[in-house]
Structure 1
Amino acid sequence: MSEYAIEVQGLTKRFGDKTVVDDFNMQVPKGAIYGFLGPNGSGKTTTIRMMCGLLTPDEGQGTALGYDIRTQTRAIKARVGYMTQRFSLYEDMSVRENLEFMARLHALKDRKAVVNAALEEYDLTPRAKQLTGQLSGGWKQRVALAAASLHNPGLLLLDEPTAGVDPKARRDFWDRIRKLAAKGVTVLVSTHYMDEAVQCDFIAFIAYGHKLIDAPASDIPAAVGLTTWRIEGRNLAPVYEALKTASGVDQIARFGSAIHVSGKDPEQLEAALAPYREQDGLEVSPAKTGLEEAFIYLMTGTEGGQ
């Protein structure tokens, strides 16, 4: 048995004369939470759908859950759970009715027992008779996850799953995702939100059909190769404006009451920061380049497409 839930080579997809995904290769370990990041329209969702047999590639091949993504798509689809960004269940049906509908759709045996177990697992039993349309965003999200995982899928696809929900609901959601991953479910997350990306074990950054980076999340900052310094103090606006166009500064961003200044050339960056080191009221110190700095840098470098 392969250690990978997904293995694909050379995936390419065109719509008309536009190549949306170009020669994409990837291996996704079983039980991993894999984030797909990139600008809107960069091909993230198209790539994920091809990897899971939901969309036929024009070129390339591969397997998902041991099945061929070209010839065994029905078997793959039966083992995939899909949670869309926009709530897609029936709002004029109760929570229980929605889950019962999904159980029938998957032709599950002992449907009543399966639905009862899901209601209990996701703390939905007290809301079972409530119309889904009356739920808050966080509770709708919980119902959607329960519905997507009702048939015990081997793959779970999440499309910007926590957009528009409060921080507490977001934490609860990711706790549940990690429990599923611990049971062996492989999770693919399409997002351009940092607070979703940091929850992933691995990250692939895709820009306009091309994979730029694919690595464990903890390795991404080093792979980008930025050196970062932090400037703290009062009245940082003039400092920000001056450094924004300084030689050696490839990126500058506000982080609360501080500025993070990053560059690919450490010597040029230090030269740009030199005038501020002895300035009264400012503190300049080295900082560890984080995932957010790396992500902003990659996003900035791909703005405007090819």
Structure 2
Amino acid sequence: MRIAFGMAALVLGGAVAARGAGLADGWRAIAGYQPEVARKIFAQVQAAGQPATAREARLGEAVAMLVTQPVSDAQTEAAREKFAALADEGRDDVALAARFYLGRIAQHHLSRPNPAAAAREFRALIEQQPASRWAQAAISRLALLEVYALQLDEPPAERIARAEKLLAWAQQPAARSELHLVVAGAIFHYRLPAQQALPHLLAAEREGNLELITRADTYVQIAELSRAAGNVAQARTFYEKLLREFPRDQRHYLVRQRLMELDGKQPAVASPAPTP
């Protein structure tokens, strides 16, 4: 459910079509965990018969259907059919959003997920309109499929390398940051040499747009890997960033020990594995 509500916020962040108050109210209802209210609003907008707003209302109705509890296979299929019709009608923002949701349904909403179908939708979206916010949002989703769901007979390093190639399509800072974190997490997950994750963590931190918990974890990961690589200045920078920006983080004791160690004031403390 969080995915659909998050995508509602993405729609609210920029106009999908020429919209009236009803459309915005519908998206706000979804973002506010009121999908039943949203469906009524979007139905009213469609009944008004204005083509400029009706297509977006159809999109909103389909999104609301995905999160109206209880969700049945029949309801998911009905939403999928609505998205498919919208996706085939053009290449405007509504069509792109619909194709994104086709990918999400195949990836997460089916009783038996279809990673290959999800990847096809995401790739088509990225290739059609790579600069769109929907294509940019699809990049990290496709990367997760490449790493954890597709061609699992191949070594993890090869799957991670395919995900890294998606950086060529990532035009927005948020898309680049998410993709770097996916790659770094995969390196930790498959227990590849941890130092391979460091450039990706640094890149994600430079791009910004990290949620609070993710940013704190990223600081610690960068600091620990930098310390292990002998880059004392970089390790100190990120340990101190954690102390300064997250004064109540439970890792303060460990971080202060690390800083004392870097100053030569106490013996080394055993290193925990970086948090994936």
Q: TM-score over 0.5 for the alignment? A: no
**Higher helix residue share:** 2
TM-score by length of 2: 0.32
Which structure is higher in RCO with an 8 Å CA cutoff and minimum separation 6?
Answer: 1
